[in-house]
Amino acid sequence: MAHHSESGLPIEPVYGPQTLTGWDPVERLGEPGTYPYTRGVYPSMYTGRPWTMRQYAGFGTAAESNARYRQLIEHGTTGLSVAFDLPTQMGHDSDAPIAHGEVGKVGVAIDSIDDMRVLFGGIPLDEVSTSMTINAPAALLLLLYQLVGEEQGVPAHRLSGTIQNDVLKEYIARGTYIFPPQPSLRLIADIFRYCRTEIPRWNTISISGYHMAEAGATPVQEIAFTLADGIEYVRTALAAGMDVDDFAPRLSFFFVARTTILEEVAKFRAARRIWARVMREEFGARDPKSLMLRFHTQTAGVQLTAQQPEVNLVRVAVQGLAAVLGGTQSLHTNSFDEAIALPTDKSARLALRTQQVLAYETDVTATVDPFAGSYAIERLTDEVEEATLALMRRVEDLGGAVSAIEQGFQKGEIERSAYRIARETDSGERVVIGVNRFTLDAEEPYEPLRVDPEIEARQAERLARLREERDGRAVTAALDALRQTAGGTENVLPPMKEALRSRATVGEVCNALREVWGDYEPTDVF
């Protein structure tokens, strides 16, 4: 029976030397830590130290999330990763009517600097690296983090971490956008400029394919559309007058790791090679760091099942192994109960332990790029690269990533892929253990973590107190200054920072920008 990869590429039963005819290992591979970085971005990779174990967490109130972060640090997490609730991601305060029923549900509710202080209370910001999964309002959360750092006495140049800040993929797959593409790109360019001088150790964007994959993208679609978005961000920064080597070393990426180990490893290797060549040949980057595709990986939440959830422990271990063999720089392993509810303390600890077993009990960290030279992996890497470049050319033919988004191209391609996956699962052609094969007549009971429904009311009370206590005139003046800057060409982050310092809320700042820039309306094509 013929086998095909998730991207539809043929997987042969046997690979041998003939599959790499005319293949120059020096040109295609190079050495680890050298162009084109097929074998990894650093010469020693994990032989010196393992990847950053960055567990993603956040729920309910800032105080509850702070307690979870402290537990993760105690258990050995080496980097924090913050999940925000949907109102925060969409730039709404917790007491806004549109936020009803969603406060604190899929992440932590952050309405103002008061919440940010609680979220990182007792956590020295000069000793941790923090990643924040926030996109349209990324500038606000970064500035709140900087303000809390200042209150702790930590200078901005000692802060390190990442904001996702990838709004283009929101139009394609995820939907937590606020403003139209052009002002959104302007805001991203402003963040690049601001961080270069103010927070130089900060990764200003994490260009994300993960959410496209969760929406149904194949591995080829995932990296093709992600790299196309990356090209658009580079062009935006260059058009704003920046030199490529001033900002490109702080670009990072975010991908998924599925259970299909061979294609996932090939995907990561192909993505590094493509990005290195694009940055050198198209944009003329000279700094080696500008050519490196550094990425964070999260195991595939979409592949977790509510049926027989303990089986997800196995899935996550396999997915984590794929990420490590593919050369990730940091990794989040999902908890086994995430298809049911937010992770419990125990399941979050087990997810971290999965990474620790990979790092300290296996031999995958003993050598760099253990799959190098494998007939199967090298052939798949070439085929994934070829298919990815073909899809990137289709995006370019449509005028680039933004133009293709406005025409609904990426969204339509991903929706067709998702529909195919659903049909294959329903028919049994695609095996999902516990769902369409090896099922149980009755599932064992499981008690999930539940978010307190009173959180919304408590956040509303906090907002009411904040508005009573703060200097209303100072807030009004700061928001007026922000609107004026947004209507011009100057960097919006300095007046935004002053508005947040005066205790303006996330919703008030985003609404001020909405008044100037408007809201985005999506294009439906499927």
Nearest to 189 by CA among 139, 130, 253: 139
Distance of CA 147 to the CA centre of its chain: 23
pLDDT for 450: 78
The residues near 153 (Cβ < 8 Å, ≥ 6 apart) are none
CA distance 154 to 156: 6
The reported pLDDT for the residue numbered 24 is 79
What pLDDT is stored for residue 443 in this prediction?
83
Burial class (CB in 10 A: 0-12, 13-18, 19+), 14: exposed
For the whole model, what pTM was predicted? 0.94
pLDDT (0 to 100) of residue 524: 61
> Three-class SS of residue 290?
helix
Q: Note the pLDDT of residue 467.
A: 97
User: Is residue 507 within 8 Å of 98, Cβ to Cβ?
Assistant: no
Backbone angles phi, psi at 432, to 5 degrees: -125, 110
Domains and CATH numbers, the chain: 3-8+33-427 (3.20.20.240), 458-517 (no CATH)
Per-residue pLDDT of the chain (526 residues; tens, 9 = 90+): 678 999 999 999 999 988 887 777 777 788 999 999 999 999 999 999 999 998 888 888 999 999 999 998 998 887 889 999 999 999 999 999 999 999 999 999 999 999 999 999 999 999 999 999 999 999 999 999 999 999 999 999 999 999 999 999 999 998 999 999 999 999 999 999 999 999 999 999 999 999 999 999 999 999 999 999 999 999 999 999 999 999 999 999 999 999 999 999 999 999 999 999 999 999 999 999 999 999 999 999 999 999 999 999 999 999 999 999 999 999 999 999 999 988 888 999 999 999 999 999 999 999 999 999 999 999 999 999 999 999 999 999 999 999 999 999 999 999 999 999 999 999 999 999 999 999 999 888 888 777 788 999 999 999 999 999 999 999 999 999 999 999 999 999 999 999 999 999 999 999 999 999 999 987 665 4
Give CA separation, 100 vs 85, 110, 350, in Å.
Answer: 12, 15, 32
* DSSP output for 92-140: --TTSGGGTTTTTSSSB---SHHHHHHHTTT--TTT-EEEEE--TTHHH
